Structure 1
Amino acid sequence: MPLPLADAYDYRAPAGPPPPAGSFVLVPLGTRRAIGVVWDGEADSRLPESRLRAVIEVLDAPPMTATLRRFVDWVAAYTLSPPGAVLRMAMSAPAALEPPAPQAGWRLASAPEGARITPARRRVLDLLADGRPRAGGEIAEAAGVTPAVLRGMAEAGLIAPALLPHRPRFAPPDPARPGPALGPEQQAAADLLREAAGRRAFSTTLLTGVTGSGKTEVYFEAIAETLRSGRQALVLLPEIALSAQWLERFRARFGAAPALWHSELTARTRRDTWRAVAEGQAPVLVGARSALFLPFPDLGLIVVDEEHETAFKQEEGVVYHARDMAVVRARLSEAACVLASATPSLESVTNAATGRYASVHLPARHGGAAMPQVTLVDLRRSPPERGRFLSPPLVAAVGETLARGEQAMLFLNRRGYAPMTLCRACGHRLRCPNCTAWLVEHRAARRLQCHHCGHAEAPPEACPSCGAPHSTVPIGPGVERVLEEASALWPEARRLVMASDTIAGPAAAAAAAAAIRDREVDLLIGTQIVAKGWHFPHLTLVGVVDADLGLAGGDLRAAERTFQLLHQVAGRAGREEHPGRVLLQTFAPEHAVMQALVSGDLDAFMAAEAEARRPGHWPPFGRLAALIVSAEEDRAADRVARDLGLAAPGGEGVEVLGPAPAPLAILRGRHRRRLLLKTRRDIAVQPLLRAWLARVEVPGHVRVQVDVDPVGFL
Structure 2
Amino acid sequence: MKIASILFPLPLPEPFDYAVPDGMHVEPGSYVRAPLGKIERTGVVWAVKTRAEDDTRDLKPVIDVYPVPAMPEPMRKFVSFAARYNVAHPGHVLAMVLRARGGLKPSPTETVYEPTGYRSNRMTEARVKVLDAAREAGPASAAELARQAGVSPGVVKGLVDIGSLEAREVETDLPYPQPTRFEGGEHLTAEQKTAGDELRRAIAKGGFQPFLLDGITGSGKTEVYFEAIAEALQKANDAQVLVLLPEIALTQAVLARFEARFGAPPAPWHSGLSDAERRRTWRETAHGRARIVIGARSALFLPFCNLKLIIVDEEHDTSFKQEDGVTYHARDMGVMRAKLEDAAIVLASATPALETMVNAEAGRYKRLRLSARPGAARLPDIELVDLRLDPPEKGNWLSPTLSNALVSTFEAGEQSLLFLNRRGYAPLVICKACGERLKSPGTESWLTEHRYTNRLVCHLTGWSMPKPEACPMCGAKDSLMGVGPGVERVAEEVRVLLPQARVEIFSSDTARSGEETRGIVDRMAGGEIDVLIGTQIVAKGHNFPNLTLVGVVDADSGMKGGDLRAGERTYQLLSQVAGRAGRAERPGRALIQTYGPENPAMIALAAGDRDGFLQIERDVRAELMLPPFGRMAALVLSAPTPQLIEEAGRLTGAAAPNGEGVTVYGPAPAPISLLRGRHRIRFLITSPRDVDLSAYMAAWLKGLKLPNPVRISADIDPYSFL
Aligned to 1:591: 599
Is 1:622 the counterpart of 2:643? The answer is no
Partners of 2:475 and 2:165 in 1: CA distance: 80
Please give the secondary structure, in 1, of the residue aligned with 2:272: coil
Which of 23, 29, 44 is the aligned partner of 1:37?
44
Match status 1:438 vs 2:446: yes
Deviates more, 1:461-470 or 1:677-686: 461-470
Match of residue 87 from structure 1: 94
Q: 1:250 to 1:103 in 2, by over 3 A?
A: same
State the match for 2:33 in structure 1: 26
Counterpart-to-counterpart distance in 2, 1:115 and 1:192: 67
- Cα distance change of structure 1 residues 45 and 638 upon mapping to structure 2, 3 Å threshold: farther
Structure 1 pair 66/237, CA: closer, same or farther in 2 (3 Å)?
same
> Superposition pairs for residues 117-156 of structure 1, below 5 Å?
none
Q: Report the counterpart of residue 545 of structure 2 in structure 1.
A: 537
Q: What's the counterpart of residue 243 of structure 1?
A: 251
The amino acid of 1:92's aligned partner reads R
Pick closer, same or farther for the CA change 1:91–1:207 going to 2, 3 Å.
Answer: same
- Map of 1:169 onto structure 2: 175
Distance, in Å, in 2 between the alignment partners of 1:167 and 1:422 is 53
Question: Quick one: which amino acid aligns to residue 337 of structure 1?
Answer: I
Matched, 1:209 2:208: no
Q: What's the offset of the Cα at 1:241?
A: 3.1
Q: Is the 8 A contact 2:662 2:685 kept in 1?
A: yes
Cα distance change, pair 96–472 in 1 and its aligned pair in 2 (3 A) = same
**Alignment-derived partner of residue 388 in structure 1:** 396
AA partner of residue 481 (structure 2) = V
Aligned to 1:57: 64
Q: Is the 8 A contact 1:242 1:505 kept in 2?
A: no
- Rounded to whole Å, the distance in 2 between the matches of 1:179 and 1:68 is 32
Which residues of 2 match residues 154-553 of structure 1 at below 5 A? Answer: 168-176=174-182, 179-228=185-234, 229-230=236-237, 231-553=239-561
Q: Distance in 1 between matches of 2:212 and 2:358?
A: 11
Question: For residue 76 of structure 2, what is the aligned residue in structure 1?
Answer: 69
Q: 1:654 aligns with which of 662, 668, 680?
A: 662
Q: Which amino acid aligns with 1:84?
A: G
Q: What SS class does the counterpart of residue 175 from structure 1 fall into? A: coil
How far apart are 1:702 and its partner, in Å? 0.9
TM-score, structure 2 normalization: 0.92
- SS of the residue aligned with 1:576? coil
CA separation in 2, counterparts of 1:644 and 1:44? 42
- State the alpha-carbon separation in 2 of the partners of residues 369 and 110 from structure 1: 60
Distance in 1 (CA, whole Å) between partners of 2:108 and 2:591 is 58
Which moves more between the two structures, 53-62 or 424-433? 53-62
| Distance change in 2, residues 1:455/1:389 (3 Å) | same
Output the amino acid matched with 2:353.
S
Cα-to-partner distance string for 1:239-258 (whole Å, 9 max, x where unaligned): 12343332222222123211
Q: Which amino acid aligns with 2:216?
A: V
Q: Does 1:78 align with 2:85?
A: yes
Q: Distance in 1 between matches of 2:205 and 2:429?
A: 58
CA deviations 1:374-403 (Å, max 9, x no partner) are 011111111001111101000001100000
How far residue 103 of structure 1 moved from its aligned partner, in angstroms, is 5.1
Q: Secondary structure at the match of 1:92?
A: coil
Aligned match of 2:683 in 675, 686, 698? Answer: 675
CA separation in 2, counterparts of 1:176 and 1:469? 67
Q: One-letter code of the match for 1:224? A: A
Matched, 1:696 2:704: yes
Aligned to 1:10: 17
- Determine the C-alpha separation between the residues in 2 that align with 1:109 and 1:89: 47
Structure 1 stretches of 4+ with a deviation exceeding 4 A read: 41-50, 102-111, 114-118, 133-141, 144-168
Aligned equivalents of 1:709 and 1:345: distance in 2? 13
Q: Which runs of 5+ in 2 are unaligned?
A: 1-7
Deviates more, 1:393-402 or 1:50-59: 50-59
Native 8 Å contact 1:242 1:506 kept in 2: no
Q: SS where residue 18 of structure 2 aligns?
A: coil
> Which whole-Å CA distance do the structure 2 matches of 1:254 and 1:188 have between them?
21
Letter in 1 for 2:326: V
CA contact (8 A) 2:663 2:686 kept: yes
Whole-angstrom CA distance in 2 between matches of 1:492 and 1:461: 33
Contact 2:182 2:231 survives alignment (8 Å): no
Matched-pair identity in % = 49
Q: CA deviation at 1:692?
A: 2.0
Give the superposed CA RMSD: 3.0
Following superposition, the deviation at residue 45 of structure 1 comes to 7.0
Note the C-alpha offset of 1:528.
0.3
Gaps of 5+ in 1: none
Q: Secondary structure at the match of 1:451?
A: coil
* Contact 1:628/1:673 (8 A) holds in 2: yes
Partner of 1:101: 108
> How far is 1:152 from its partner?
7.6
Tell me the matched-pair count.
704
CA 1:652–1:106 in structure 2 vs 1: closer, same or farther (change >3 Å)?
Answer: closer
Q: Which amino acid aligns with 1:94?
A: R
Q: Which amino acid aligns with 1:508?
A: E
Aligned AA for 2:176? F
Distance in 2 (alpha carbons) for counterparts of 1:47 and 1:26? 27
Residue aligned with 1:243, SS: helix
Q: 1:158 to 1:213 in 2, by over 3 A?
A: same
| Contact map agreement 2:555 2:592 (CA 8 A) in 1 | yes
Take 2:38 and 2:358, find their aligned partners in 1: how far apart are those partners?
53
Whether the 8 Å contact between 2:635 and 2:683 is mirrored in structure 1 is yes
Q: Which residue identity lines up with residue 281 of structure 1 in the other structure?
A: R
Q: CA deviation at 1:640?
A: 1.7
What is the CA deviation profile of residues 485-538 of structure 1, one whole-angstrom value per residue up to 9, with x for unaligned ones? 111111110001000111112111111111111111000100000001000000
**Amino acid in structure 2 at the alignment position of 1:215:** K
**Structure 2 CA distance, aligned partners of 1:688 and 1:555?**
23
What's the CA shift for 1:169?
2.4
The whole-number CA distance in structure 2 between the counterparts of 1:115 and 1:486 is 68
Q: How far apart, CA to CA, are the structure 2 residues paired with 1:523 and 1:334? A: 47
Q: Is the 8 A contact 2:634 2:715 kept in 1?
A: yes
Q: Distance in 1 between matches of 2:122 and 2:69?
A: 46
Amino acid paired to 1:515:
R
Instruction: Decide whether aligned partners of structure 1 residues 491 and 295 sit closer, same or farther in structure 2, where only a CA change above 3 A counts.
Output: same
Distance of 1:519 and 1:81 partners within structure 2: 48
Deviations 1:329-385 (A, max 9, x none): 111111110101100000000000001111101000122311100011111111001
Q: Give how far 1:643 is off.
A: 2.1
Task: After superposing the two structures, state which structure 1 stretch, 194-203 or 538-547, moved more.
Answer: 194-203
Match of 1:605 in 2: 613
Secondary structure, aligned partner of 1:696: coil
